[in-house]
Amino acid sequence: MEILSQRDAHWANMKLGMSGVTIGGYGCTITCLSMIAGVTPDVMNDTLIRVGGFVAPKDNPAQRNLVNWEMVHIAFPFLSFVNRGYGNNEYEIVTSTKQNGFCLVEVDFDNNIRTDGRHWVLYIGDGLLIDPWTGTMDPVSKYPMVTGYSIFTRIMEDDMTDDQFNKIYSAMTMANKMFRIQNSIKFIKPSTDNAECGIVKTKRYVPITGDEMVSAGLTFNDLGK
C-alpha cells in the first residue's frame, strides 16, 4: 500500500467534491480511500463526483464534500462498503484490520472533544496507522480519541470471478483507458496457468466515464455484480 498525503502538491489545491474547500484542507477521507483502492486522491475525487458520491452536511447544503460510503462501490467495484460505526468499537476495528489489512478510523484531530476536530486515518495493524494529513506511518497512540470507523473489504485479484474480471476488462478495453501506474498505462490479463495476475496488480486504477460505459453497453451496477 502506497502512503499518500492529502497535502501533496499534485492535488492539494483541487476542490473536494462539489464544494469550495480543497483536498489539502479536508480530503483526509478520500485520501484514505485512495490508499485502499490503489489510486491517487485526484482520481478518487473525480470518480466519486462522477457517480454522485458526495453529499452535503446538514448545516451547509451547498457544500457537497462528505463521502457517501455506499457509492464508493459504484465507483470502484472491487471495494465493498460493510459498515459505518460510531464510537470506539475496538472489537470491530481490530477485526476489520486483521481480516482486511486496513480499517478507516475517525479520530479527534486535536484530542479535544469540545472542538470539531474530526479526522480520518487508516489503521493498518501492528499498532500502526497512516495519517493522510502528514503522509506518514505513525503509532495509533498519535490520536487517542477514536470517534468512529468505516469498514470496507477489497476483492483481491485472485478472489475475482471470471465474470467480474471480464466485465471490468471489457469496459476498460472499450474505453481504451486501461489502468495506469504513475505516468504509464498498464493492464495485466490473467493467463490460464497464472490466476494471480489481474487488474488490481497495477495499483493505479483509472476509471472510465459514464458515457464510455454506455458505449460499452455496461452500467456501474453491472460491474458490481
Q: Give the pLDDT confidence score for residue 117 in this predicted structure.
A: 74
Q: Which of 7, 24, 3 is nearest to 15 (CA)?
A: 24
pTM over 0.75: no
What would the grid cell of residue 128 be? 500502526
What would the grid cell of residue 221 be? 451496477
What are the distances in angstroms from CA 58 to CA 9, 70, 150? Answer: 30, 18, 20
pLDDT tens digit at each of 225 positions of the chain: 899 999 999 999 999 999 999 999 999 999 999 999 888 999 899 889 988 899 987 777 777 889 999 999 888 888 889 999 999 999 999 999 999 999 999 999 887 766 667 899 999 999 999 999 999 999 999 999 999 999 999 876 556 666 766 665 554 444 334 333 233 333 344 444 444 433 333 333 444 444 444 454 544 444 443
Q: Give the pLDDT confidence score for residue 100 in this predicted structure.
A: 93
Q: Give the pLDDT confidence score for residue 165 in this predicted structure.
A: 63
Alpha carbon distance 200, 206 (integer Å): 11
- Per-domain residue ranges of the chain: 23-154, 157-224
With contact defined as beta carbons under 8 Å apart, do 16 and 30 qualify? Answer: yes
Phi and psi, residue 19, nearest 5°: -150, 180
- How crowded is the C-beta side of 23, counted as CA atoms within 13 Å? 26
**C-alpha 126 chain-centroid distance:** 21
Burial of 62 (0-12, 13-18, 19+ CB in 10 A): exposed
